[in-house]
Structure 1
Amino acid sequence: MLHDMQRVLATYWKQFLYLTPKLAIALVIILLALTFANRVSKLLGARVRNHSDDLLLADFLIQLSKWVFVLAGFLLALQIIGFSGVVTGMLSAVGLSAFIVGFAFKDIAENFLAGVILAFNRPFQIHDTVEVKGLQGHVEALNLRTTIIKTFDGKHIYLPNSVVLKEPLTNFTRDGSIRQDFLLSVDYGQDSGPEKVIALILQQVERTQGVQTQEPRTPYILQEKATGTTIDLRVYFWTLSEDYRRVVMELKSNLMQQTRTTLQQAGYALPNAAQ
């Protein structure tokens, strides 16, 4: 039994010595492929970004080209080691996509294909403000597997591309402008009417910096409810949406406060706070 064990170990040792040079060459090829892929992606990235207006698609294609070089080096290393049959089987299946599905996990392949669709369909651009599954923030990057969203409080959320593709996505900045609204309850008293209140509010809204006043995006007010001398008014206004947090949300907050102050200075009572 001891003799058989020694014979098996000797056989394994001979096979190891036989494969060692090939393993070393394969390792060198993989390292060279990684180095070459990183350098090519940097050079390609600089040129593509300078000549492309679509940074989202450009960054995705750069990442994809990098991994293509890495995959080519890995397949070449397999051939050198002697796994040519494995390589042939991988590449002769149904193309590269079939190889990805067979070699990797299902969710990785699904997220990769979803990333390709997102990159070419482009429902958002880098720095757009979006909302997916109740998560809101700026788009930081689209990777081969995940979409990175930075929330307004500084958190980075890594959403699988398949989730972003399947779930309803709201883009707040795609149009360039966005409409906002808030509710005001005003007691206009016995000696006045809602027309004067509406005119006063419109004047305040239109002279506020950041509010758009050109057709078709002019401010307007709708009456929602009236009880006695109290009226509920919904104020609508348009503003630029490029920086959603500062330009839109802060403008809405300031406009609500300024409108309340203007009405109070004019002698109107405000039964409820602005909403």
Structure 2
Amino acid sequence: MLLNDLHRVLSTYWTQFLYLLPKLAVALILLVIAVFLANRLSSLIGGRLHARSHDPLLAEFLTRLTKWAFILLGLTLVLQVIGLTGIVSGMVAGAGLTAFVVGFALKDIAENFLAGVVLAFNRPFRIHDTIQIKDNQTLMGRVEALNLRTTLIKTFDGKDIYLPNALVLREPLINFTRDGHIRQDFLVAVDMEGKGGPEQLRDLILDFVRRFKDVKDEEGHRPYIILEKTDGTVATLHVYFWTFSEDYRRGTQELKSELMQGIRELLLQQGYPHPAAVQ
């Protein structure tokens, strides 16, 4: 009796499979065609967007969005050919769209996707901009890509960090390179025994900084120096200067290091004692 029931069930399933086999073959072919067309059309649209848009970040994001939209359209057609459209519609109608959105996994995906759309059109950064998230040095680097779910940044030590778009949108974001220039500063402590006053020292260093390569000296972005404090014969000056920020590492680390080394050599030439007090 049990074997007869099992045989009848298997026969029913086999008959249904044979009935669906042509539809499955057609659906598979349609799915392959849909993926192929999605890649071709997204490449075509992406090429035109990159050619006409001055923002490669937005163009790349729209290209990816177009690709997945075509794939989703093809998948819907495949489900319709197989005959699962009614089942899917029933699930959505029965459970409700809200039940899917508030689900943990889908909620995260939807949140990051919508955040990616906002970032693509709001554009708080561009490709190769140096940004920092949440005032955290470990979340600092150059923007490499904006994907549908994540933002990829590369740190200065070569690490790739994939940040959820919702985190990038929600947390404070510092863009160091958007304006094209940035101000840096450092302290210079010099023993002035047997030399002139702080004003003479300040003028000497300021003239050197103004003439230094890659230091901006124009209206609104001129270097300046203030006297921070004096301790006996030792004067501590605070040097401020503006530089180009397209290459943030060059403008903040290498240039500052070169300036400090150059000031040290200048003070040695001028006979100031203890010029190693540059810090």
Question: 2:115·2:165 contact (CA, 8 Å) conserved in 1?
Answer: yes
Give, in whole Å, the separation in 1 of the partners of 2:179 and 2:102.
41
Equivalent residue number for residue 178 of structure 1: 182
- The correspondence for 2:217, drawn from 213, 219, 231, is 213
Give, in whole Å, the separation in 2 of the partners of 1:257 and 1:13.
82
Equivalent residue number for residue 269 of structure 1: 273
Gap runs ≥5 in structure 2: none
Alignment of 1:140-155 (within 5 A): 140-155=144-159
Local SS of the residue matching 2:219: coil
Question: 1:240·1:248 contact (CA, 8 Å) conserved in 2?
Answer: no
Equivalent residue number for residue 32 of structure 2: 31
Question: Which TM-score applies when normalising by structure 2?
Answer: 0.91
Is 1:114 matched with 2:115?
A: yes
Question: 1:178·1:238 contact (CA, 8 Å) conserved in 2?
Answer: yes
Give, in whole Å, the separation in 1 of the partners of 2:217 and 2:17.
78
Structure 1 residue 137, shift from structure 2 partner: 1.3
- The correspondence for 2:243, drawn from 236, 239, 243, is 239
What residue identity is the alignment partner of 1:182?
Answer: F
Gap runs ≥5 in structure 1: none
Equivalent residue number for residue 13 of structure 1: 14
What residue identity is the alignment partner of 2:55?
Answer: D
Alignment of 1:196-207 (within 5 A): 196-207=200-211
Is 1:259 matched with 2:248?
A: no
Is 1:164 matched with 2:168?
A: yes
Question: Which TM-score applies when normalising by structure 1?
Answer: 0.93
Give, in whole Å, the separation in 2 of the partners of 1:59 and 1:86.
35
Aligned residues: 273
Structure 1 residue 224, shift from structure 2 partner: 1.6
What residue identity is the alignment partner of 1:80?
Answer: V
CA displacement 1:216-249 (0-9 Å, x = unmatched): 1100011222111111111000011011112442
Local SS of the residue matching 1:140: strand
- The correspondence for 1:188, drawn from 188, 192, 198, is 192
Local SS of the residue matching 2:162: strand
Give, in whole Å, the separation in 1 of the partners of 2:66 and 2:278.
53
Question: 1:79·1:87 contact (CA, 8 Å) conserved in 2?
Answer: no
Deviating above 6 A after TM superposition, structure 1's stretches of 4 or more consecutive aligned residues are 90-93, 97-100
Give, in whole Å, the separation in 1 of the partners of 2:9 and 2:143.
58
Structure 1 residue 26, shift from structure 2 partner: 1.3
